[in-house]
Amino acid sequence: MDQRTEIASLGEFGLIDHLTKNIDIKNSSSLVGVGDDGAVIDHFGRQTVLSTDLLIEGIHFDLSYTPLKHLGYKSVVVNVSDIYAMNATPTQILLSIGFSNRFSLEALDEFYAGVYAACEAYNVDLVGGDTSSSQKGFIISITAVGEVSPDKYVKRNGAKVNDLICVSGELGGAFLGLTLLEREKKIFSETGAQPDLEGQKVIVGRLLKPEARKDIIEYFSEVEILPSSMIDVSDGLSSDILHICKQSEKGCVLYEDKLPFNEEAKAFAYKLQLDPTACALSGGEDYELLFTVPQQDYEKIKLNPSISIIGYITEHSEGNHIITRGGNKHELVAQGWNHVK
């Protein structure tokens, strides 16, 4: 990044040409992509799923420890994760960015390199967007489009009493990664000491380069599971299971000893005297899938090592609880990340 080309030297349309010249359209349904007023998408008796996210510097990300390429990758991932959480397959994205004059063309190229890498990984086409200057900082808006067979989409409101509550992967890692990077940033600003990220690859990776659970949706299709409800874990397990319970008008019981942790993350939590369970419940950005299935799907769920059964759905009147390792029953409260402070 030694060279610095001022974006102003390209103009808006020159910039768009520059940023989109390497687009590779993969889906035959992408009839019209970037370069027109809108994108046209063909359908063959399927249904379209749309999701959008706004990511703002200083609110959602800190560029002092987030490489722009990782930010581009993550921006796509958080959106396709929403599409998977509907049991759909992402097919296209639209990406808008706003940026102050502090950003060079090379910086935007880094960002887009991450975006394109994620498009490749998740087989989605970038089909539109907008670019603008901003008065302050970097602003990202992504809309993802997905498709799903008629009526196979999964909402948050379908959980039934006695359904199993399941989650993919491991929880709390992204929150621990954030805690580590914030701590190192503080140490650096106070002492100038270089960050010590030794042995923390997993949790830093969970924060800076999360992946969406494409594999889980593919597994559902393969073994014919249709979850009764689903959401992605973006605000924290506690907040997200409460969304399912509220919208399904049900209660829940979670078991602390069933929550899936990564060993490295757990060790780091103890080192900081943090409770891994609290990190899983209140830490966000894990982008795992949280879903409910009827009990008869138990055998199918058991066969997938990436899925943990962590509790079950109850009557609404029974409330929302977690049973601790010691056998105590605590009420679940939403303590997820809140971007409206």
Strand 89-99 to 125-133 pairing: parallel
Near its own copies by CB under 8 A: residue from 19, 71, 85, 290: 85
43 CB neighbour count, 10 Å cutoff:
9
Site string for its own copies, 177-216 (x = CB under 8 A): ----------------------------------------
The reply on whether position 66 binds its own copies by CB under 8 A is: no
Count of CB atoms situated within 10 Å of the CB of 107: 17
CB nearer to its own copies: give 171 or 230: 230
The C-alpha atoms of residue 57 and residue 135 are separated, in whole angstroms, by 12
Ramachandran sector of residue 186 (left: φ over 0; alpha: ψ -120 to 50; beta: rest):
alpha
Where in 154-183 is the site for its own copies (CB under 8 A)? 155-156
Binding mask of the shown chain, residues 212 to 241, with x at each position contacting its own copies by CB under 8 A: ------------------xxx---------
Beta carbon nearer to its own copies, 325 or 341: 341
Size of the site for its own copies (CB under 8 A): 74
- Give the nearest distance from C-beta 226 to its own copies in angstroms: 15
323-332, Cβ contacts within 8 angstroms, sequence gap of 24 or more: 323/253, 323/254, 323/255, 323/256, 324/256, 324/277, 325/256, 325/257, 332/238, 332/241, 332/242, 332/252, 332/254, 332/281
Smallest gap from Cβ 223 to its own copies, in A, equals 22
Nearest-approach distance from CB 50 to its own copies, in angstroms: 5
Q: How far is CA 300 from CA 85, 159, 167, in A?
A: 19, 18, 14
Based on the shown chain and the rule CB under 8 A, indicate whether residue 146 belongs to the binding site for its own copies.
yes
Asked if residues 87 and 154 have their Cβ atoms less than 8 Å apart, the reply is: yes
Could you say whether residue 129 binds its own copies (CB under 8 A)? yes
Binding of residue 9 to its own copies (CB under 8 A):
no
Which residue stretch of 47-55, 191-199, 200-208, 306-314 sits at the interface with its own copies (rule: CB under 8 A)? Answer: 47-55
Q: Minimum distance between the CB of residue 68 and its own copies, rounded to whole angstroms? A: 18
Q: Residue 273 gets which letter from DSSP? A: T
- For residues 24 and 33, the answer to whether their CB atoms sit within 8 Å is no
Interaction of residue 56 with its own copies, rule CB under 8 A: yes
**Residue 40 or residue 272: which is nearer to its own copies going by CB?**
40
Q: Output phi, psi for 117, to 5 deg.
A: -60, -40
CB neighbours of residue 141 within 10 Å: 18
Least distance from C-beta 282 to its own copies, angstroms? Answer: 14
Closest distance to its own copies from the beta carbon of 149 (Å): 12
Residues 27-46 that bind its own copies (CB under 8 A): 31-32, 35-43, 45-46
When asked if residue 48 is in the footprint of its own copies (CB under 8 A), the reply is: yes
CB of 6 to its own copies, least distance (A): 11
Of residues 269 through 298, those in contact with its own copies by CB under 8 A are: none
Quick check: 133 binds its own copies (CB under 8 A)? yes
* Inter-axis angle of helices 263-271 and 173-191, nearest 10: 40
CA 209, 308, 320, 243 torsion: positive or negative?
A: positive
Q: What is the largest CA-CA distance in the chain?
A: 65
Measured from the CB atom, the residue of 128 and 276 that comes closer to its own copies is 128
Of these, 82, 170, 211, 256, which contacts its own copies (CB under 8 A)?
Answer: 82
Hey, what are 256's tokens? 């602390």
Near its own copies by CB under 8 A: residue from 98, 114, 283, 311: 98
